[in-house]
Structure 1
Amino acid sequence: MKKNGRIEYKECVGSDIVFTSEVLDVLEKLHDKFSNKINKFRSIRKKNLHEIIKDSDINPVEKLFTESSNSNEWKLDVPDELFIPGIEISGPSSQTSMFINGLNPTPSGFRADGDLDDDEDASGHTLQDTVNSAINRKGAVIGNLKFYDEEKKKNYEVVPGKLPFFMHRERGLLLDEEDFLIDGNPISASILGTTLTLMHCGREQQKKGDFIYFYIPKLETENEAIFWKEFFDEACRVIDNLDSNKIKAIMLVESLPIALNMENILFSLGKYSAGFNAARWDLKASVLEFIMGRPDLVWPDRFEVNVASTPFMVSIFRHLVAVCLKHGGVPIGGMATALPSRDEDINKMAASSITSDKTWEAENGFLRGWVAHIYHMETASKPFKDLHSSGWAPTEDMKNPELYPLSNINLKPEGELTKEGTRRNVRTIIEYLEGWFNGRGAKGIDSLEGVAGKRPALMEDLATARISIAQTAQRIMHSSICHDTGDAHSKKFTEEMFNQEFQDIISIRPEKEEIYERARNLGIDWLNNYLDFNFDPLSYYQRNNY
């Protein structure tokens, strides 16, 4: 660890570039002002969640729903750039080759409108990832970002031309950075990542006349939105050459509490507020956590819980759009996760599915969506661009949140609960954790690997692993019966499934037996903690313990 006054941090590639004396001074000031408040938020979250899940008589919707006290007419001040219809390419900002690819055009010349440069769920959650992200983002803005892949013997450079606008996503309020300490205590990963982005990439963006845009993940309450308003205010006070009027943020609706209090939260972020994103996967995971103790709300296989056909998700996302449209905000849709295949039939299947999904989003008022791979960028963008170029405009009803009430939504989707669905969850968990042990936050996964039929692999990040863990725990907790086999879920039943899936995987990839064994063992521990109502984030687990 390198020591500098009160600060100690693990040296890594590029840390000498990123952690200047100016940066360290600002980090100390922001840590001192905000760290206690973040710790209080964490305690409040845990208390509120446990109060609900440990009493099966509590209806989570009734408990969490908050009437809007900000339903009067007010408008956000949002840059025109954020109203461009189309697509944002998503990927880890720490992996330089992937980051550059996302900024570049496809062979046909199509370039994404925005770039979701992610140091959160698609990241490996290490200090090295955050340092890499700071360097890569700044290099892209300045125009000198290059990378040579020694293994592939391949050069990566940003192709000249107008780049997508950057949407920076840092780690959320629950997470710390264990390798960066102040007075012996880990700094909040939110404070660390956001400060580095403002000081390195952000100031360069503002020098060029650009805005700095953030996605704010894992928010739950009005007070947390107010925290971010105060954080940006203070950051602009202590960081030289930073204009608070040119910082905007879109909040991710990826927890049940924020979904049931959107209008108030949009207002609470103040002048930085620019809209909402419909973060499907983490929202599902959050719902599963809040209903974990309810035997009457056990979910069917998660693969059947689709946005367009699940009533409570339709209601939440139409309400999201209405709140944004009413107040001049930007509604952003979800992720298209399909990866390209060498089999053109599979690519056509993926394109059809993406088109259907993005058409639903566009027709329901979303301006853009996200896509996980450059191969499908143009396909994912087309429904948004075509609809808006046709002269289409949202109806007045679409701008009225009161027409999409959330106070009585039913959080139980319809569908089958099967052993095969649980098996696919277990497969996803093991495969995702193998990638996590290798420092990746997102990985291409086919949970039906080895099963006959054609389908694309999907780029899965931490949210999918959370859903898989939560759903499996819920089924064990309530001894749920499999509709396809009649089996009852239990810890023994599920651990046997972990072992079976592990054996199947290493029969395909025997050279990776050791790391998949670690992934299986961590997966079982993670599941057992969920059964004890301990929903601590994956980054709380130490890789070296497995």
Structure 2
Amino acid sequence: MPQGVQIHARVQGAQSDILSEPALAFLVALHRTFNPTRLALLDARDVVQQRLDGGEQLDFPSETAHIRADPSWVCAPPAPGLEDRRVEITGPTDRKMVINALNSGAKAFMADFEDSNSPSFQNMLNGQVNLRDAIRRQIDFEQGGKQYKLTEKPATLIVRPRGWHLDEPRITVDHQPMSGSIFDFALYFFHNAKELIARGSGPYFYLPKMEHYREARLWNDIFNFSQAYLGIPLGTIRATVLIETLPAAFHMEEILFELRHHSSGLNCGRWDYIFSFIKKRRLDKTAVLPDRKDVTMESGFMDAYVRLLIQTCHKRRVAAMGGMSAQIPIKGDAKANEVAMAKVRADKLREVTAGHDGTWIAHPLINKIAMDVFNEHMLGPNQYHVRREEVVVTPKDLLNSSVPGKITHDGVKSNASAALAYCAAWISGNGCIPLNFLMEDAATAEIARVQLWQWVYHKARLDTGHPITASYVEGVLREVASNVKSLVAGVQDKQIAIAVEYMISQVKADRASDFLTSDLMPYLEALDGGKWIKSSL
């Protein structure tokens, strides 16, 4: 054990290989070098939020105007396996999911340690074991008489670590929790980078929830440090940044510039983006949005951000990735399934005709639908030639909150149900749930949570004229709580009760919390085998 390290949860079996002494030494080196910068950047987020609460409006940063105006710089060319990304499947890192996703026929699989994952320590370590085994083609297993085995040509593997705001409290260094981002990145990189290179691929990442180009600079510094640490060429790492916060939409070119030697593009993280739009403008009454179902990609602020992202990426010669359709196949109802799949087709058609170079899916059975649309309309490996030079997006466009729709009782009830079901599932160790034939993860649950708060705080009214008060929403939450068990397998009464009280506290709060995942993290301790286990102190 490196000096100063403590492990506060049970480590068993193959997990011990992941937390080996050399791997922990790498974690410690990264933590001591970069965590102070991370904490300072998180403090800077709070300063920006205070300014927004005071009425200041977001704008493109003036100090980097020269970067945006300079046409000469472009990002690194696509790395092996990332030349054609027309369909990518996403999902958590449990063993069966990893095999099914890699075998799905999609071009890439984003293995998710973040929004579709509940970060119990067992989930985090087992996920690392599963990815290590998949890369070495040692992941095959049998369950219920069925064989799970990788195909000869699986999808390219891309890993999403947790965002900068999340700690890893089960590992402390010098009595300080590690960054969840550094923990997830470092273990995957340390154990697999050289093996991936030897197999003709590389260590590829999706980077979530950044809010400023300086946060991208921190990632780039970590990449350079890590490549030098393992003695692999600089620029081997590739990273796609999810533009899923409102501030990041004003920093797209700067984010690419900071990561230009490691960049593989930007992604429209649509659900988190809606969540961030509400949260960042929390005191702005003009930013109150209608029912979640009415906030579509055709909404003014969403359309502007998509157009700007495609233009920015293609100007700098990297992929502009589309987002996730939440629909999943509906078994036993052919008519309803066709309606749902028609929505998927329309969404993917919108993306490819707008100029996106690829899209996301959440279920293997949707791969063919998405692939057919992109195959028909994107004949080459990408659409970098679609420059969208006619696009002009202003700050006003990115802040355009004019969205047709109403706030309805059904909308309140739907948000209450989604938030409760997801929170209860999350603290039971499940970070991705099918709900009413939609795939719900932390991002969609966050929209539900902050919308309920927003409507109460700004004294919004239903389409019937009924005021949306904290007591009214509390009544809806308690009403729908009785249905959670029937909606989500495996949740217990205690977890539902925690979710109910948490959501009631949120709608009554003066300010909604930044992230439910931060709020609920202490409840995962019960799943992690107890407190302090091993220490080098």
Which TM-score applies when normalising by structure 2?
0.91
1:172 match: 163
Shift of 1:491: 1.0
Shift of 1:394: 6.7
- Residues 399 and 249 from structure 1, CA distance in 2 versus in 1: closer, same or farther, beyond 3 angstroms? farther
Cα deviation digits, residues 141-167 of structure 1 (max 9, x gap): 111112444xxx244533331111111
2:246 match: 256
Shift of 1:203: 2.2
Shift of 1:316: 0.8
**Matches of 1:431 and 1:533 in 2, distance apart?**
19
Residues 45-444 of structure 1: pairs in structure 2 closer than 5 A? 45-53=45-53, 55=54, 57-58=55-56, 60-62=57-59, 68-70=65-67, 71-73=69-71, 74-79=73-78, 81-93=81-93, 95-105=94-104, 111-149=105-143, 153-238=144-229, 240-307=230-297, 309-342=298-331, 343-389=333-379, 398-399=388-389, 403-409=392-398, 410-444=400-434
Kept after mapping to 2: 8 A contact 1:88/1:369: yes
Cα deviation digits, residues 220-270 of structure 1 (max 9, x gap): 1111111111110111122x2433322111100000111012112211113
**Which amino acid counterpart does residue 378 of structure 2 have in structure 1?**
H
- Secondary structure at the aligned position of 2:239 is classed as strand
Cα deviation digits, residues 450-485 of structure 1 (max 9, x gap): xxxxxxx111100011111111111000110101x2
Kept after mapping to 2: 8 A contact 1:319/1:405: no
Shift of 1:526: 3.8
**Matches of 1:15 and 1:4 in 2, distance apart?**
17
- Residues 278 and 507 from structure 1, CA distance in 2 versus in 1: closer, same or farther, beyond 3 angstroms? closer
Kept after mapping to 2: 8 A contact 1:89/1:370: yes
**Matches of 2:451 and 2:175 in 1, distance apart?**
37
**Matches of 2:289 and 2:519 in 1, distance apart?**
27
**Matches of 1:275 and 1:201 in 2, distance apart?**
22
Residues 479-518 of structure 1: pairs in structure 2 closer than 5 A? 479-483=459-463, 485-505=464-484, 512-518=492-498
- Residues 352 and 43 from structure 1, CA distance in 2 versus in 1: closer, same or farther, beyond 3 angstroms? same
RMSD: 2.4
**Matches of 2:246 and 2:62 in 1, distance apart?**
9
**Matches of 1:539 and 1:203 in 2, distance apart?**
33
1:521 match: 501
Shift of 1:367: 1.1
Shift of 1:320: 0.3
**Which amino acid counterpart does residue 359 of structure 1 have in structure 2?**
L
Overall identity of the aligned pairs, in % = 25
**Matches of 1:214 and 1:310 in 2, distance apart?**
29
- Secondary structure at the aligned position of 2:261 is classed as helix
Kept after mapping to 1: 8 A contact 2:308/2:393: yes
Shift of 1:341: 2.2
- Secondary structure at the aligned position of 1:229 is classed as helix
- Residues 509 and 161 from structure 1, CA distance in 2 versus in 1: closer, same or farther, beyond 3 angstroms? closer
- Residues 479 and 35 from structure 1, CA distance in 2 versus in 1: closer, same or farther, beyond 3 angstroms? same
Give unpaired runs (5+ residues) of structure 1: 106-110, 447-456
Count of residue correspondences: 517
Kept after mapping to 1: 8 A contact 2:300/2:397: no
- Secondary structure at the aligned position of 2:116 is classed as coil
Shift of 1:512: 4.3
Shift of 1:129: 2.0
**Which amino acid counterpart does residue 496 of structure 2 have in structure 1?**
Y
- Residues 490 and 5 from structure 1, CA distance in 2 versus in 1: closer, same or farther, beyond 3 angstroms? same
**Matches of 2:316 and 2:486 in 1, distance apart?**
55
**Matches of 2:381 and 2:214 in 1, distance apart?**
39
**Matches of 2:503 and 2:359 in 1, distance apart?**
31
Kept after mapping to 1: 8 A contact 2:320/2:357: yes
- Residues 469 and 544 from structure 1, CA distance in 2 versus in 1: closer, same or farther, beyond 3 angstroms? same
- Most deviating of 6-15 and 349-358: 6-15
- Most deviating of 76-85 and 183-192: 76-85
**Which amino acid counterpart does residue 435 of structure 2 have in structure 1?**
I
Greater relative contact order (Cα 8 A, min sep 6): structure 1 or 2? 2
- Residues 25 and 159 from structure 1, CA distance in 2 versus in 1: closer, same or farther, beyond 3 angstroms? closer
Cα deviation digits, residues 390-424 of structure 1 (max 9, x gap): 899677651465x3334544133222122221111
**Matches of 2:493 and 2:22 in 1, distance apart?**
46
- Residues 397 and 5 from structure 1, CA distance in 2 versus in 1: closer, same or farther, beyond 3 angstroms? closer
Kept after mapping to 2: 8 A contact 1:332/1:366: yes
Shift of 1:383: 1.3
Query: Is 1:475 equivalent to 2:466 in the alignment?
Result: no
Residue 8 of structure 1, aligned match among 2, 6, 10:
6
Which TM-score applies when normalising by structure 1?
0.89
1:534 match: 513
2:23 match: 23
- Secondary structure at the aligned position of 2:378 is classed as helix
**Which amino acid counterpart does residue 35 of structure 1 have in structure 2?**
N
Shift of 1:525: 2.9
- Residues 507 and 339 from structure 1, CA distance in 2 versus in 1: closer, same or farther, beyond 3 angstroms? closer
**Matches of 2:280 and 2:364 in 1, distance apart?**
35
Kept after mapping to 2: 8 A contact 1:215/1:249: yes
- Secondary structure at the aligned position of 1:177 is classed as strand
